[in-house]
Amino acid sequence: MARRAALELKDGYYANLGIGIPTLVANYIPDGVDVTLQSENGMLGMGPFPYEGEEDPDLINAGKQTITELRRSSYFNSADSFAMIRGGHIDLSILGAMEISENGDIANWMIPGKMVKGMGGAMDLVAGVKRCIVTMDHTNRAGASKFLKACTLPLTGLNCIAMVITDLGVFEREENDRFRVSELAPDVTLDEVKAKTEADIIYT
């Protein structure tokens, strides 16, 4: 999924990668594609993890991991960081999700009755970034579809997801249109996708 999502990063993009699978996308950026990664705690041009012994407590990413800077890097405060995000200056955000609905709603921050950790910057990202892509497992541990007619969990954002990449395939959506199966993962059939998708999507 991370490898497939990386193909959505275009040359010259400023992108924000969420925690989990989206973080791994950075490892698969194609050669010749120049991407600047934003970390919403206040950095553009996120570099790789430091060598052991060179960790800097004043230099972390939004997942609180130690990182390094690049020649292109810049630092800024949280208000400027979210001016980039909410002001529509970030080209692409790749996020994880608990549920996606057929009209592009996303739920990824809260399960009622369980401890709520908070939305962090997720609501700002889905409301402000030009294009938002989700990577997630197609079904939950019980085998139920996570790609639904309507989200059952509290929402993170409305009508904001343009593409869903799951272990079964890639689902693309034109603005205000239905999602369409655009790719199947290896050894996955359309019938399997149909069986595991609750959302009304286009299969041709």
Footprint of other proteins (CB under 8 A) = 39-43, 48-52, 54-67, 69, 75-79, 81-82, 85-86, 105, 110, 115-124, 127-128, 154-158
Nearer to other proteins, 41 or 145 (CB): 41
Name the residues annotated as catalytic.
40
Nearer to other proteins, 92 or 160 (CB): 160
Q: For 37, list phi and psi in degrees, rounded to 5.
A: -95, 135
Q: How far is the CB of 19 from other proteins (least distance, A)?
A: 10
Total number of residues shown for the chain: 204
Question: Residue 135 is inside which H or E element, if any?
Answer: strand 131-135
Cβ atoms 6, 28 nearer than 8 A? yes
Q: How far is the CB of 138 from other proteins (least distance, A)?
A: 24
Which residues fall within 8 angstroms of residue 151, CB to CB, at 6 or more apart? 99, 100, 101, 105, 106, 107
Q: How far is the CB of 144 from other proteins (least distance, A)?
A: 23
For residue 35, give the amino acid letter. Answer: V
Nearer to other proteins, 78 or 189 (CB): 78
Nearer to other proteins, 19 or 185 (CB): 19
Q: How far apart are CA 31 and CA 33, in angstroms?
A: 6
Q: How far apart are CA 27 and CA 75, in angstroms?
A: 22
Cβ atoms 168, 147 nearer than 8 A? no
Nearer to other proteins, 99 or 105 (CB): 105
Structure-token pair, residue 175: 């603005």
Q: Which of 165, 125, 130, 162 is nearest to 146 (CA)?
A: 165
Q: How far is the CB of 158 from other proteins (least distance, A)?
A: 4
Q: How far is the CB of 84 from other proteins (least distance, A)?
A: 10
Q: How far apart are CA 69 and CA 170, in angstroms?
A: 33
